Amino acid sequence: MPLHIEKVSHSYGTVDALSGIELDIADGETIALIGPSGCGKSTLLGIIGGLLEPTAGRVTFSGAPPTDSLNPFTYIFQDFALLPWRSVADNVGLALEHRALSAVERRERIASALALTGLAEFAAAYPKQLSGGMRQRVGIARALVVRPAVLLLDEPLSALDAQTRELLMEDLLAIWAREKSTRVYVTHNLEEAARLADRVVVLSRRPGRIREIVRVEVPVGERGRTEHAGLLLEVHKRLWSLIRDEAATADREIQPIRQ
């Protein structure tokens, strides 16, 4: 579903979090949102998903969400509250509770979300039997089971170790190829941004403004190929040059003493 972010600004009381964000996102596109901590990334995601009313501007979308989408705007966070007493399949099914679905459709949706996330063999397992990476896959499956039109991901891999994160990036790319949502992916990890997004939106320090939009010229389906490694490295370097100075300034800031 195409999204239109029109002159969005947001303040929390006297704290200006976002300023004049203008962005059109194409249907099926993946946008990564990067920028220094506190620059308003999560705020923008909340505004896109309708959790938060912006102080100024608006977010609209074109057309209508697909009819099988039970929850057009769906979030994926860093950590999910999986219910320990429920199996993997029942945790995924949680998102379908209180929905008017036949038992067949419920089972079919759960099975396809588990297949998409590589969890088919783990349907009967319990969260405490799983690694951190597998648990995060359950969270992702729970988001996909509603067939979202727009997937809003807020640092979904940040709590994972480097190797698990690498595996999950591969999984997400495979999911992107098979599932047609429009995606906004917030991260502070430049590699994730370069690997997973069609375009990377670089925000300035608070109040977040768009500094630059970097297009990743490698088709998402080919991101894993070694012949593209050089191009992805170039994107990574470009992103780092854009945020380096602000990161360094923030790093050297002396905080006021709080009594």
Ligand X SMILES: Nc1ncnc2c1ncn2[C@@H]1O[C@H](COP(=O)(O)OP(=O)(O)O)[C@@H](O)[C@H]1O
Report the alpha-carbon distance of residue 107 to residue 104 in Å, rounded: 5
Residue (146 or 243) nearer to ligand X, CB: 243
List Cβ neighbours of 209 (8 Å cut-off, separation of 6 or more): 18, 19, 20, 21, 203
Choice between 15 and 115, CB closer to ligand X:
15
Residue 129: contacted member of Mg ion, ligand X, none (CB under 5 to 8 Å, by partner type): none
Region of 41-49, 63-71, 74-82, 132-140 interacting with ligand X (CB under 6 A): 41-49
Which x/- pattern over 21-40 shows residues binding ligand X (rule: CB under 6 A)? ----------------xxxx
Task: Supply the minimum distance, in Å, between the C-beta of residue 37 and ligand X.
Answer: 5
DSSP 208: B
- The pattern of x and - marking residues 174 through 213 that bind ligand X according to CB under 6 A reads --------------------------------x-------
Number of residues that bind Mg ion (CB under 5 A): 1
Binding pattern for the stretch 63-82 against ligand X, x by CB under 6 A and - elsewhere: --------------------
Q: Which does 9 bind (CB under 5 to 8 A by kind): ligand X, Mg ion, none?
A: none
Joined tokens for residue 21: 């964000």
Regarding 43 and contact with Mg ion (CB under 5 A), the answer is: no
Q: Is the peptide bond before 2 cis (omega within 30 degrees of 0)?
A: no
How near is the Cβ of 45 to ligand X at its closest, in Å? 8
Q: For Mg ion, which is the closer residue by CB, 42 or 117?
A: 42
User: Which CA distances in Å does 152 have to 21, 51, 175, 183?
Assistant: 17, 12, 14, 6
Contacts of 235-244 spanning 24+ positions with Cβ under 8 A: 235/194, 235/200, 236/190, 236/191, 236/194, 238/214, 239/34, 239/190, 239/193, 239/194, 239/200, 239/202, 239/214, 240/190, 242/202, 242/211, 242/212, 242/214, 243/34, 243/35, 243/36, 243/190, 243/202
Is residue 42 close enough to count as binding Mg ion by CB under 5 A?
yes
Give the range of 37-45, 48-56, 85-93, 194-202 binding Mg ion by CB under 5 A.
Answer: 37-45
Where does this chain bind ligand X (CB under 6 A)?
12, 15, 17, 37-43, 206
Where does this chain bind Mg ion (CB under 5 A)?
42
